[in-house]
Amino acid sequence: MKTVMEPKRTNTTFAEQPLTEKTEKKPVALDVKHLNIYYGENHAVKDVNFSIDQNTVTALIGPSGCGKSTFLRSINRMNDLIPGARSTGEIQYDDVNLIGDDINVVALRKEIGMVFQKPNPFPKSIYNNIVHALKFNGIRSKKKLDGIVEESLRKAALWDEVKDRLHESALSLSGGQQQRLCIARTLAMKPNILLLDEPASALDPISNAKIEDLIMGLKKEYTIVIVTHNMHQASRISDKTAFFLNGVLVEFDKTDKIFTNPSKKDTEDYITGRFG
Partner 1 sequence: MNSKVADRIATTIFYLIAATIVTVLVGLLGYIIYHGFSKLNLDFLTSPSSSFRAGGGIGNQLFNSFYILFLTMVFTVPLGLGGGIYMAEYARPGRLTNAIRTCIEVLASLPSIVIGMFGLLMFVNLTGWGYSILGGALALTVFNLPVMVRVCEDALRTVARDQKEASLALGITHWHTIKTVLLPAAFPSILTGAILASGRVFGEAAALLFTAGLTTPTLDFSNWNPFDATSPLNIFRPAETLAVHIWAVNTQGLIPDVREVADGSSAVLIISVLLFNLLARWIGSIVHKKITASK
How are the residues of the chain apportioned to helix, strand and coil, as percentages rounded to the nearest 5?
A: 40, 25, 35
Task: Find the helix or strand (DSSP H, E) in which 257 lies.
Answer: helix 255-260
Q: With contacts defined by CB under 8 A, name the span among 4-12, 47-55, 63-71, 103-111 that binds partner 1.
A: 103-111
Nearer to partner 1, 125 or 241 (CB): 125
Residue 224 interacting with partner 1 (CB under 8 A): no
Pairwise CA distance, residues 150 & 75, whole Å: 28
| Binding track over 187-216 against partner 1, x by CB under 8 A | --x---------------------------
Task: State the nearest-atom distance from the C-beta of 224 to partner 1, in Å.
Answer: 15
Nearer to partner 1, 144 or 167 (CB): 167
62 close to 68: Cβ distance less than 8 angstroms: yes
Q: Which of 87, 125, 179, 233 binds partner 1 (CB under 8 A)?
A: 125
Residue 14 interacting with partner 1 (CB under 8 A): no
* Binders in 151-190 for partner 1, by CB under 8 A: 167-172, 182, 185-186, 189
Task: State the nearest-atom distance from the C-beta of 171 to partner 1, in Å.
Answer: 6
Residue 139 interacting with partner 1 (CB under 8 A): no
Taking alpha carbons only, the member of 245, 196, 214 closest to residue 61 is: 245
Q: Which of 55, 58, 74, 76 binds partner 1 (CB under 8 A)?
A: 76
Q: What are the two backbone dihedrals, phi and then psi, of residue 31, each rounded to the nearest 5 degrees? A: -120, 110
Residue 72 interacting with partner 1 (CB under 8 A): no
DSSP secondary structure letters along 48-84: EEEEEETT-EEEEE-STTSSHHHHHHHHTTGGGGSTT
Task: State the nearest-atom distance from the C-beta of 56 to partner 1, in Å.
Answer: 21
Cβ-based neighbours of 62, under 8 Å, separated by 6 or more: 68, 243, 244, 245, 250, 270, 276
Would the CA dihedral through 109, 113, 116, 120 be positive or negative? positive
- Per-residue DSSP letter, 199: T
208 close to 223: Cβ distance less than 8 angstroms: no
Task: State the nearest-atom distance from the C-beta of 216 to partner 1, in Å.
Answer: 22
Rg, C-alpha atoms of the chain: 19
Cβ-based neighbours of 269, under 8 Å, separated by 6 or more: 275
Task: State the nearest-atom distance from the C-beta of 122 to partner 1, in Å.
Answer: 6
Nearer to partner 1, 157 or 195 (CB): 195
Q: Which of 18, 20, 23, 83 binds partner 1 (CB under 8 A)?
A: 83
Q: With contacts defined by CB under 8 A, name the span among 21-29, 54-62, 78-86, 153-161 that binds partner 1.
A: 78-86
Residue 112 three-state SS: strand
Q: Which of 18, 23, 24, 81 binds partner 1 (CB under 8 A)?
A: 81
* Binders in 234-273 for partner 1, by CB under 8 A: none
Question: Which residue ranges make up the site for partner 1 (CB under 8 A)?
Answer: 76, 78, 81, 83, 106-111, 113-114, 116, 118, 120-125, 128, 132-133, 136-137, 167-172, 182, 185-186, 189
